[in-house]
């Protein structure tokens, strides 16, 4: 597989005819998968995925503070590779791309990638003033000798399954529904930082999580059944993760803390990945540490029971 970062700087990349899928693909949800699965129809063509870094919204309007479902671009690329492309562009999004005339961008795809098929979602737009859309592409496809494949967005219960919709689900803590729509279970990645060791004193030591990415989206505050992977360790560890500000102890900072079941190793500053499976409950302020410990024991029992009835898949 070939990997590129800027199509504008490349010479002609392929003499083979190409089928090209373009999108931001944040989350690689079922709508994105319906686009990428079209590759199966063109086994003999050069299969190309074009996605963008940073997300165009973050480039055009950084004050909007868009949170991403997959904040690490390397993780997104690894998922996109599952669709067996021959070429991936993690395209640098710049003012040149933002302000390009749509017809010039299409000409670039045709000249450098020998584009024969272009696959886009029905709401795709690009170029200066976002003037490039499916109507524009349909009009020029004959003159540029390519076939446009417009993939309708997937709907469920009259709701369009989009990245924006999945972000709303995450902010409501609807993890099981989110996981139904994503290619992989929702996860966050970062490293283990030092904490107050309060969990250890209560008999439930926790891993204090710190994300590498400032634009990582998190589920809403609460207690979740999760599993955790540790860098350099092939095991998958059952865990319980709390997101919130520990109201019982009147803390202000929002934290992500994970209790790994039956685990007592020192993993400070190790890289970790936390995958979310189910929300157990909302975060509650307890009247005493005894009440908190009693509830944690219930959470642990519920988590063990949950894992006893499933097979963990990454």
Rounded Cα gap, residues 293 and 286, in angstroms: 10
The residue among 16, 8, 28, 293 whose CA lies nearest residue 186 is 28
Q: CB under 8 Å to 250, separation ≥6 — which residues?
A: none
Q: How buried is residue 197: exposed, middle or buried, by Cβ count under 10 Å (0-12/13-18/19+)?
A: exposed
What ranges in the chain are assigned the alpha helix state H? 30-36, 56-60, 73-80, 95-98, 102-113, 134-140, 163-171, 175-181, 198-201, 289-307
Strand partners, 299: none
Rounded Cα gap, residues 191 and 22, in angstroms: 32
Phi first, then psi, for residue 31 (nearest 5°) are -65, -45
Catalytic residues: 257
The residue among 154, 116, 120 whose CA lies nearest residue 136 is 120
**Sign of the alpha-carbon dihedral angle for 171, 177, 181, 187:** positive
Q: Is 43 left (phi over 0), alpha (psi -120 to 50) or beta?
A: alpha
Residue with tokens 């083979």: 16
Q: How buried is residue 203: exposed, middle or buried, by Cβ count under 10 Å (0-12/13-18/19+)?
A: exposed
As a 3-state breakdown, the chain gives helix, strand, coil percent values, each rounded to 5, of 30, 30, 40
Preceding amide of 211 cis, omega within 30: no
């Amino acid at each position: 597989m070939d990997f590129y970062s800027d199509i504008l700087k490349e010479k002609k990349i392929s003499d083979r005819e190409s089928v090209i899928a373009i999108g931001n693909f944040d989350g690689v949800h079922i709508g994105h998968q319906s686009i990428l699965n079209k590759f199966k129809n063109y086994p003999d063509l050069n299969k190309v995925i074009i996605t963008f870094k940073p997300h165009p919204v973050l480039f055009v309007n950084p004050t909007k503070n868009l949170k991403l479902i997959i904040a690490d671009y390397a993780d997104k690329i690894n998922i996109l590779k599952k669709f067996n492309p021959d070429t991936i562009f993690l395209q640098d999004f710049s003012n040149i791309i933002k302000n390009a005339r749509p017809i010039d961008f299409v000409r670039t795809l045709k000249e450098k990638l020998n584009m024969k098929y272009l696959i886009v979602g029905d709401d795709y737009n690009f170029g200066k003033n976002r003037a490039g859309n499916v109507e524009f592409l349909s009009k020029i496809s004959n003159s540029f000798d390519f076939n446009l494949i417009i993939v309708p967005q997937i709907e469920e219960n009259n709701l369009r399954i989009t990245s924006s919709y999945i972000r709303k689900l995450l902010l409501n803590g609807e993890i099981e529904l989110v996981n139904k729509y994503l290619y992989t279970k929702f996860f966050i990645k970062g490293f283990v930082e030092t904490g107050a060791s309060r969990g250890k004193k209560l008999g439930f030591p926790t891993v204090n999580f710190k994300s590498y990415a400032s634009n990582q989206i998190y589920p809403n505050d609460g207690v979740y059944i999760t599993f955790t992977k540790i860098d350099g360790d092939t095991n998958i560890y059952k865990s319980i993760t709390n997101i919130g500000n520990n109201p019982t102890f009147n803390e202000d900072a929002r934290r992500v803390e994970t209790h790994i079941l039956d685990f007592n190793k020192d993993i400070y500053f190790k890289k970790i990945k936390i995958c979310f499976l189910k929300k157990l409950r909302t975060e509650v302020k307890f009247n005493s540490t005894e009440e908190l410990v009693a509830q944690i024991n219930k959470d642990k029992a519920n988590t063990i029971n949950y894992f006893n009835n499933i097979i963990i898949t990454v």
